[in-house]
Protein backbone atom coordinates (compact mmCIF):
# COMPACT_ATOMS: atom_id res chain seq x y z
CA UNK A 1 0.00 0.00 0.00
CA UNK A 2 1.53 3.27 -1.13
CA UNK A 3 0.37 5.44 1.74
CA UNK A 4 1.96 6.92 4.85
CA UNK A 5 -1.39 7.39 6.58
CA UNK A 6 -4.86 5.90 6.12
CA UNK A 7 -7.82 8.04 7.11
CA UNK A 8 -11.13 6.22 7.54
CA UNK A 9 -13.95 8.67 6.84
CA UNK A 10 -14.03 11.73 4.56
CA UNK A 11 -15.89 14.14 6.83
CA UNK A 12 -14.41 17.39 8.10
CA UNK A 13 -12.30 15.71 10.78
CA UNK A 14 -10.74 13.15 8.47
CA UNK A 15 -10.13 15.55 5.59
CA UNK A 16 -8.58 18.17 7.86
CA UNK A 17 -6.08 15.59 9.10
CA UNK A 18 -5.44 14.36 5.56
CA UNK A 19 -4.90 17.85 4.15
CA UNK A 20 -2.51 18.91 6.92
CA UNK A 21 -0.36 15.78 6.71
CA UNK A 22 -0.28 15.93 2.92
CA UNK A 23 0.52 19.64 2.79
CA UNK A 24 2.71 20.20 5.84
CA UNK A 25 4.66 16.97 5.82
CA UNK A 26 4.50 15.94 2.17
CA UNK A 27 3.18 12.48 3.11
CA UNK A 28 0.85 10.34 1.03
CA UNK A 29 -2.58 9.97 2.59
CA UNK A 30 -5.26 7.51 1.55
CA UNK A 31 -8.78 8.51 2.56
CA UNK A 32 -11.51 5.88 2.35
CA UNK A 33 -15.24 6.21 2.89
CA UNK A 34 -17.95 3.58 2.78
CA UNK A 35 -20.41 6.02 1.22
CA UNK A 36 -20.51 6.85 -2.51
CA UNK A 37 -19.71 10.51 -1.84
CA UNK A 38 -17.14 12.62 -0.05
CA UNK A 39 -17.86 14.82 2.95
CA UNK A 40 -19.72 12.68 5.47
CA UNK A 41 -22.86 14.31 6.81
CA UNK A 42 -21.84 17.71 5.44
CA UNK A 43 -22.40 16.51 1.87
CA UNK A 44 -24.68 18.70 -0.23
CA UNK A 45 -25.85 18.59 -3.81
CA UNK A 46 -28.20 20.38 -6.18
CA UNK A 47 -31.74 18.99 -6.28
CA UNK A 48 -32.17 17.84 -9.88
CA UNK A 49 -35.37 19.60 -10.91
CA UNK A 50 -34.72 22.97 -9.22
CA UNK A 51 -30.95 23.31 -8.86
CA UNK A 52 -31.44 24.26 -5.20
CA UNK A 53 -28.55 23.08 -3.00
CA UNK A 54 -29.83 20.53 -0.49
CA UNK A 55 -27.96 19.43 2.62
CA UNK A 56 -28.58 15.70 2.35
CA UNK A 57 -28.10 14.97 6.06
CA UNK A 58 -29.87 17.95 7.55
CA UNK A 59 -29.01 21.64 7.68
CA UNK A 60 -25.34 22.45 8.29
CA UNK A 61 -24.63 25.97 9.54
CA UNK A 62 -21.04 27.04 9.93
CA UNK A 63 -20.10 29.24 12.87
CA UNK A 64 -17.03 29.60 15.07
CA UNK A 65 -15.19 31.87 17.48
CA UNK A 66 -11.96 29.91 17.01
CA UNK A 67 -9.69 32.19 15.00
CA UNK A 68 -7.39 29.38 13.97
CA UNK A 69 -10.30 27.37 12.59
CA UNK A 70 -11.70 30.43 10.81
CA UNK A 71 -8.36 31.15 9.15
CA UNK A 72 -7.99 27.52 8.14
CA UNK A 73 -11.42 27.08 6.55
CA UNK A 74 -11.07 30.31 4.60
CA UNK A 75 -8.20 28.69 2.69
CA UNK A 76 -10.79 26.54 0.91
CA UNK A 77 -13.92 28.63 0.69
CA UNK A 78 -15.32 32.11 1.06
CA UNK A 79 -18.42 32.51 3.22
CA UNK A 80 -21.66 34.37 2.70
CA UNK A 81 -23.01 36.82 5.26
CA UNK A 82 -25.78 34.39 6.23
CA UNK A 83 -26.97 34.70 9.85
CA UNK A 84 -29.02 31.80 11.18
CA UNK A 85 -32.40 32.60 12.72
CA UNK A 86 -34.92 29.99 13.77
CA UNK A 87 -38.65 30.16 14.38
CA UNK A 88 -40.99 27.66 15.98
CA UNK A 89 -44.68 26.94 15.41
CA UNK A 90 -46.74 26.35 18.55
CA UNK A 91 -50.52 25.97 18.43
CA UNK A 92 -50.76 27.64 15.06
CA UNK A 93 -48.61 30.63 15.98
CA UNK A 94 -45.01 31.36 15.01
CA UNK A 95 -42.50 32.47 17.65
CA UNK A 96 -38.81 33.49 17.39
CA UNK A 97 -36.21 31.14 18.86
CA UNK A 98 -34.19 30.85 21.03
CA UNK A 99 -36.50 32.22 23.72
CA UNK A 100 -35.98 35.97 23.85
CA UNK A 101 -37.82 39.09 24.85
CA UNK A 102 -39.90 38.91 21.70
CA UNK A 103 -40.89 35.29 22.44
CA UNK A 104 -41.83 36.13 26.03
CA UNK A 105 -43.92 39.16 25.19
CA UNK A 106 -45.67 37.42 22.31
CA UNK A 107 -46.41 34.32 24.39
CA UNK A 108 -47.72 36.19 27.44
CA UNK A 109 -49.36 38.96 25.35
CA UNK A 110 -47.32 41.45 27.32
CA UNK A 111 -44.89 44.33 26.82
CA UNK A 112 -42.24 43.50 29.43
CA UNK A 113 -38.90 45.20 29.43
CA UNK A 114 -35.77 43.14 30.19
CA UNK A 115 -35.94 43.48 33.99
CA UNK A 116 -39.66 42.67 34.19
CA UNK A 117 -39.15 39.64 31.93
CA UNK A 118 -36.30 38.40 34.15
CA UNK A 119 -38.52 38.69 37.20
CA UNK A 120 -41.34 36.85 35.46
CA UNK A 121 -39.11 33.93 34.45
CA UNK A 122 -37.54 33.89 37.92
CA UNK A 123 -40.98 33.68 39.51
CA UNK A 124 -42.19 30.96 37.16
CA UNK A 125 -39.03 28.86 37.56
CA UNK A 126 -39.40 28.85 41.37
CA UNK A 127 -42.31 26.40 41.14
CA UNK A 128 -40.31 23.47 42.54
CA UNK A 129 -39.40 25.43 45.64
CA UNK A 130 -35.75 24.51 45.69
CA UNK A 131 -36.31 20.80 45.10
CA UNK A 132 -33.51 19.16 43.12
CA UNK A 133 -34.91 18.22 39.69
CA UNK A 134 -35.25 14.45 39.32
CA UNK A 135 -35.90 14.32 35.59
CA UNK A 136 -35.70 16.44 32.47
CA UNK A 137 -39.27 17.67 32.93
CA UNK A 138 -38.53 19.11 36.37
CA UNK A 139 -35.21 20.47 35.16
CA UNK A 140 -36.90 22.39 32.37
CA UNK A 141 -39.46 23.89 34.76
CA UNK A 142 -36.69 24.90 37.17
CA UNK A 143 -34.77 26.65 34.40
CA UNK A 144 -37.42 28.67 32.56
CA UNK A 145 -40.77 27.99 34.26
CA UNK A 146 -43.56 25.66 33.26
CA UNK A 147 -45.41 27.81 30.67
CA UNK A 148 -42.39 28.43 28.44
CA UNK A 149 -40.98 24.95 28.99
CA UNK A 150 -44.22 23.17 28.11
CA UNK A 151 -44.86 25.38 25.08
CA UNK A 152 -41.46 25.26 23.42
CA UNK A 153 -39.30 22.54 24.95
CA UNK A 154 -41.25 19.65 26.41
CA UNK A 155 -43.00 18.12 23.42
CA UNK A 156 -40.20 19.04 21.01
CA UNK A 157 -37.75 17.17 23.26
CA UNK A 158 -40.11 14.21 23.54
CA UNK A 159 -40.15 13.96 19.74
CA UNK A 160 -36.37 14.20 19.56
CA UNK A 161 -35.84 11.46 22.14
CA UNK A 162 -38.98 9.35 21.55
CA UNK A 163 -39.30 9.40 25.33
CA UNK A 164 -41.48 11.25 27.82
CA UNK A 165 -39.22 13.90 29.42
CA UNK A 166 -40.35 12.66 32.83
CA UNK A 167 -38.42 9.49 32.02
CA UNK A 168 -35.27 11.29 30.87
CA UNK A 169 -32.49 12.32 33.26
CA UNK A 170 -32.23 15.96 34.30
CA UNK A 171 -28.59 15.98 33.18
CA UNK A 172 -29.59 16.06 29.50
CA UNK A 173 -30.13 19.82 29.79
CA UNK A 174 -27.90 21.92 32.02
CA UNK A 175 -29.21 25.25 30.73
CA UNK A 176 -31.92 26.70 28.53
CA UNK A 177 -30.76 30.09 27.28
CA UNK A 178 -33.17 32.99 27.52
CA UNK A 179 -32.23 36.33 25.97
CA UNK A 180 -33.68 39.43 27.53
CA UNK A 181 -33.34 41.38 24.28
CA UNK A 182 -35.05 41.06 20.92
CA UNK A 183 -31.95 39.45 19.40
CA UNK A 184 -32.98 36.17 17.74
CA UNK A 185 -29.65 35.35 16.14
CA UNK A 186 -29.31 31.64 16.83
CA UNK A 187 -25.53 31.47 17.32
CA UNK A 188 -23.33 33.80 19.36
CA UNK A 189 -20.05 33.10 17.59
CA UNK A 190 -17.73 35.73 16.12
CA UNK A 191 -17.86 34.25 12.63
CA UNK A 192 -20.85 32.81 10.79
CA UNK A 193 -21.81 32.08 7.23
CA UNK A 194 -22.35 29.45 4.55
CA UNK A 195 -19.75 28.39 1.96
CA UNK A 196 -20.28 30.48 -1.16
CA UNK A 197 -20.07 27.52 -3.54
CA UNK A 198 -21.64 24.98 -1.18
CA UNK A 199 -20.30 22.35 1.20
CA UNK A 200 -19.30 19.75 -1.37
CA UNK A 201 -17.19 22.25 -3.32
CA UNK A 202 -15.44 23.24 -0.07
CA UNK A 203 -14.81 19.63 0.86
CA UNK A 204 -13.53 18.71 -2.60
CA UNK A 205 -10.99 21.53 -2.43
CA UNK A 206 -9.66 20.13 0.85
CA UNK A 207 -9.14 16.74 -0.80
CA UNK A 208 -7.68 18.17 -4.02
CA UNK A 209 -4.02 17.59 -3.20
CA UNK A 210 -1.39 15.62 -5.09
CA UNK A 211 -0.60 13.62 -1.94
CA UNK A 212 -4.22 12.69 -1.16
CA UNK A 213 -6.11 9.80 -2.73
CA UNK A 214 -9.81 9.37 -1.96
CA UNK A 215 -11.53 6.03 -2.50
CA UNK A 216 -15.30 5.88 -2.08
CA UNK A 217 -17.58 2.87 -1.55
CA UNK A 218 -14.83 1.29 0.55
CA UNK A 219 -15.83 -0.37 3.81
CA UNK A 220 -12.90 -0.60 6.25
CA UNK A 221 -14.37 -3.82 7.66
CA UNK A 222 -14.87 -5.55 4.32
CA UNK A 223 -12.02 -8.01 4.04
CA UNK A 224 -12.80 -8.71 0.39
CA UNK A 225 -11.10 -5.43 -0.52
CA UNK A 226 -7.48 -4.56 0.32
CA UNK A 227 -7.87 -1.46 2.51
CA UNK A 228 -9.40 -3.28 5.44
CA UNK A 229 -8.71 -3.25 9.15
CA UNK A 230 -6.83 -6.56 9.17
CA UNK A 231 -4.45 -5.51 6.39
CA UNK A 232 -3.91 -1.91 7.47
CA UNK A 233 -3.74 -1.71 11.27
CA UNK A 234 -0.22 -2.36 12.47
CA UNK A 235 1.26 -1.72 9.04
CA UNK A 236 0.24 1.90 8.36
CA UNK A 237 -0.88 4.58 10.87
CA UNK A 238 -4.64 5.01 10.88
CA UNK A 239 -6.95 7.87 11.79
CA UNK A 240 -10.36 6.30 12.29
CA UNK A 241 -13.50 8.46 12.33
CA UNK A 242 -16.21 5.79 12.19
CA UNK A 243 -18.23 4.53 15.18
CA UNK A 244 -15.84 3.43 17.90
CA UNK A 245 -17.98 0.45 18.93
CA UNK A 246 -18.03 -0.79 15.31
CA UNK A 247 -14.23 -0.68 15.16
CA UNK A 248 -14.10 -3.24 17.97
CA UNK A 249 -16.99 -5.28 16.58
CA UNK A 250 -19.18 -4.18 19.51
CA UNK A 251 -17.02 -6.17 21.94
CA UNK A 252 -18.13 -4.03 24.90
CA UNK A 253 -21.71 -3.60 23.70
CA UNK A 254 -23.52 -1.16 21.43
CA UNK A 255 -23.29 2.55 22.15
CA UNK A 256 -26.67 4.23 21.74
CA UNK A 257 -27.28 6.93 19.18
CA UNK A 258 -30.10 9.02 17.83
CA UNK A 259 -30.58 9.23 14.10
CA UNK A 260 -32.58 11.37 11.69
CA UNK A 261 -34.95 10.53 8.86
CA UNK A 262 -35.74 13.02 6.12
CA UNK A 263 -38.74 13.49 3.87
CA UNK A 264 -37.94 15.70 0.88
CA UNK A 265 -40.55 17.34 -1.32
CA UNK A 266 -40.45 19.74 -4.26
CA UNK A 267 -43.40 22.13 -4.04
CA UNK A 268 -44.87 24.23 -6.89
CA UNK A 269 -44.47 27.51 -4.99
CA UNK A 270 -41.67 30.05 -4.88
CA UNK A 271 -41.55 30.18 -1.09
CA UNK A 272 -43.14 27.74 1.34
CA UNK A 273 -42.34 29.10 4.82
CA UNK A 274 -40.33 32.30 4.40
CA UNK A 275 -37.41 31.13 6.54
CA UNK A 276 -34.68 28.45 6.36
CA UNK A 277 -35.76 26.43 9.42
CA UNK A 278 -39.14 26.18 11.13
CA UNK A 279 -39.37 24.08 14.30
CA UNK A 280 -42.62 22.39 15.29
CA UNK A 281 -42.97 22.26 19.05
CA UNK A 282 -46.27 20.37 19.36
CA UNK A 283 -46.69 16.62 19.78
CA UNK A 284 -49.40 16.35 17.12
CA UNK A 285 -46.85 17.21 14.41
CA UNK A 286 -44.64 14.13 13.90
CA UNK A 287 -41.58 15.92 12.56
CA UNK A 288 -39.34 18.24 14.56
CA UNK A 289 -38.68 20.83 11.86
CA UNK A 290 -38.86 21.73 8.20
CA UNK A 291 -35.89 23.04 6.22
CA UNK A 292 -36.43 25.17 3.14
CA UNK A 293 -33.06 25.28 1.45
CA UNK A 294 -33.57 28.20 -0.91
CA UNK A 295 -33.37 30.56 2.07
CA UNK A 296 -29.84 29.50 2.97
CA UNK A 297 -28.59 31.23 -0.19
CA UNK A 298 -30.87 34.17 -1.04
CA UNK A 299 -28.04 35.57 -3.17
CA UNK A 300 -28.44 32.74 -5.69
CA UNK A 301 -30.78 32.72 -8.66
CA UNK A 302 -33.15 29.89 -7.86
CA UNK A 303 -36.49 29.20 -9.60
CA UNK A 304 -39.33 31.45 -8.51
CA UNK A 305 -42.03 28.83 -9.07
CA UNK A 306 -40.56 25.85 -7.17
CA UNK A 307 -38.98 25.22 -3.78
CA UNK A 308 -37.48 22.26 -1.91
CA UNK A 309 -38.46 21.43 1.65
CA UNK A 310 -37.23 18.65 3.91
CA UNK A 311 -39.11 17.41 6.96
CA UNK A 312 -36.87 16.06 9.72
CA UNK A 313 -37.81 13.20 12.04
CA UNK A 314 -35.74 12.09 15.05
CA UNK A 315 -35.55 8.61 16.57
CA UNK A 316 -33.25 6.12 18.26
CA UNK A 317 -30.81 4.56 15.82
CA UNK A 318 -30.73 0.90 14.95
CA UNK A 319 -27.44 -0.74 14.04
CA UNK A 320 -28.15 -0.34 10.32
CA UNK A 321 -28.92 3.39 10.64
CA UNK A 322 -26.63 6.35 10.21
CA UNK A 323 -25.73 7.52 13.75
CA UNK A 324 -26.01 11.27 14.41
CA UNK A 325 -26.07 12.19 18.09
CA UNK A 326 -24.67 10.24 21.06
CA UNK A 327 -27.32 9.47 23.69
CA UNK A 328 -24.79 9.21 26.53
CA UNK A 329 -26.70 7.15 29.07
CA UNK A 330 -24.93 5.88 32.17
CA UNK A 331 -24.53 2.51 30.45
CA UNK A 332 -23.02 4.26 27.42
CA UNK A 333 -20.45 5.98 29.59
CA UNK A 334 -19.44 2.67 31.13
CA UNK A 335 -19.08 1.07 27.71
CA UNK A 336 -17.06 4.05 26.51
CA UNK A 337 -14.59 3.55 29.37
CA UNK A 338 -14.00 0.03 28.13
CA UNK A 339 -13.63 1.21 24.52
CA UNK A 340 -11.18 3.89 25.65
CA UNK A 341 -8.93 1.19 27.08
CA UNK A 342 -9.21 -0.92 23.94
CA UNK A 343 -8.39 2.09 21.76
CA UNK A 344 -5.28 2.90 23.76
CA UNK A 345 -3.98 -0.62 23.16
CA UNK A 346 -4.26 -0.51 19.37
CA UNK A 347 -1.08 -0.03 17.34
CA UNK A 348 -0.77 3.36 15.64
CA UNK A 349 -4.52 4.05 15.56
CA UNK A 350 -6.03 7.41 16.47
CA UNK A 351 -9.78 7.84 16.98
CA UNK A 352 -11.39 11.13 16.07
CA UNK A 353 -14.54 12.91 14.99
CA UNK A 354 -18.05 12.65 16.33
CA UNK A 355 -18.39 8.90 15.79
CA UNK A 356 -14.85 7.93 16.75
CA UNK A 357 -14.95 9.76 20.08
CA UNK A 358 -18.68 9.45 20.86
CA UNK A 359 -19.04 13.21 21.29
CA UNK A 360 -21.37 15.67 19.65
CA UNK A 361 -19.13 17.96 17.59
CA UNK A 362 -20.22 20.86 15.43
CA UNK A 363 -18.25 21.32 12.22
CA UNK A 364 -15.92 23.94 13.68
CA UNK A 365 -15.30 21.75 16.71
CA UNK A 366 -14.43 18.75 14.51
CA UNK A 367 -12.00 20.84 12.47
CA UNK A 368 -10.42 22.28 15.62
CA UNK A 369 -10.05 18.81 17.15
CA UNK A 370 -8.45 17.54 13.95
CA UNK A 371 -5.92 20.37 13.95
CA UNK A 372 -5.09 19.55 17.57
CA UNK A 373 -4.61 15.87 16.70
CA UNK A 374 -2.18 16.86 13.97
CA UNK A 375 -0.29 19.15 16.36
CA UNK A 376 -0.13 16.80 19.31
CA UNK A 377 -0.19 13.29 17.85
CA UNK A 378 0.81 13.24 14.20
CA UNK A 379 3.30 16.09 13.84
CA UNK A 380 5.75 14.49 16.31
CA UNK A 381 5.53 11.27 14.30
CA UNK A 382 5.74 12.60 10.74
CA UNK A 383 7.95 15.54 11.64
CA UNK A 384 10.38 14.01 14.13
CA UNK A 385 9.90 10.25 13.90
CA UNK A 386 8.29 9.84 17.32
CA UNK A 387 5.96 6.95 17.99
CA UNK A 388 2.20 7.38 17.85
CA UNK A 389 0.33 7.14 21.13
CA UNK A 390 -2.88 5.41 20.13
CA UNK A 391 -6.27 6.45 21.46
CA UNK A 392 -8.32 9.60 21.43
CA UNK A 393 -11.45 8.20 23.05
CA UNK A 394 -12.25 9.97 26.33
CA UNK A 395 -14.89 8.97 28.81
Which one of the listed residues 2, 175, 249, 305 is annotated catalytic?
175
CB 134 within 8 A of CB 171: no
The sheet with strand 212-216 has its strands ordered as 212-216, 29-33, 5-8, 238-240, 349-351
CB 290 within 8 A of CB 277: yes
Which one of the listed residues 146, 246, 258, 311 is annotated catalytic?
258
69 to each of 66, 120, 240, how far by Cα in Å? 5, 40, 21
Count CB neighbours of 126 within 10 A.
12
- Does residue 360 carry a catalytic annotation? yes
The DSSP symbol for 56 reads T
Torsion, Cα of 335, 336, 341, 345 (10° steps): 110
- Does residue 215 carry a catalytic annotation? no
CB 352 within 8 A of CB 388: no
CA–chain centroid gap for 138, Å, is: 27
- C-alpha radius of gyration, the chain, whole number: 23
Which one of the listed residues 119, 123, 360, 389 is annotated catalytic?
360
User: 58 — alpha (psi -120 to 50), left (phi > 0) or beta?
Assistant: left
Closest CA to 263 of 291, 297, 294: 291
> Residue 266 pairs with which residues in a beta bridge?
308
- Does residue 340 carry a catalytic annotation? no
Torsion, Cα of 73, 75, 77, 79 (10° steps): 60
Which one of the listed residues 20, 27, 289, 340 is annotated catalytic?
289
CB 351 within 8 A of CB 364: no
Burial (CB count within 10 angstroms: exposed 0-12, middle 13-18, buried 19+), residue 283: exposed
Which one of the listed residues 292, 312, 332, 348 is annotated catalytic?
312
Closest CA to 204 of 388, 346, 391, 33: 33
- Does residue 354 carry a catalytic annotation? no
Which one of the listed residues 179, 294, 340, 354 is annotated catalytic?
179
- Does residue 312 carry a catalytic annotation? yes
311 to each of 92, 162, 209, 266, 383, how far by Cα in Å? 17, 17, 37, 12, 47
* Positions marked catalytic: 175, 179, 258, 289, 312, 360, 362
Amino acid sequence: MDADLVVVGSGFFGLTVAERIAEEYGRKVLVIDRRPHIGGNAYSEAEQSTGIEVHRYGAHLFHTSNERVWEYVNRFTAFTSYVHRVYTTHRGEVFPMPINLGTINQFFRSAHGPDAARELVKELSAELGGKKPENLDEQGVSLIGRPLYEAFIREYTAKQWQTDPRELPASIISRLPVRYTYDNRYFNDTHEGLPVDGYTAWIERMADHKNIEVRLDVDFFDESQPVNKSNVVGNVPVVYTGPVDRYFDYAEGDLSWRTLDFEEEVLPVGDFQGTPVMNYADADVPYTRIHEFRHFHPEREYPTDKTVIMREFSRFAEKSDEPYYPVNTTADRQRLLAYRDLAANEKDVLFGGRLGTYKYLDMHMAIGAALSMVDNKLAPHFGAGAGIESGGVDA
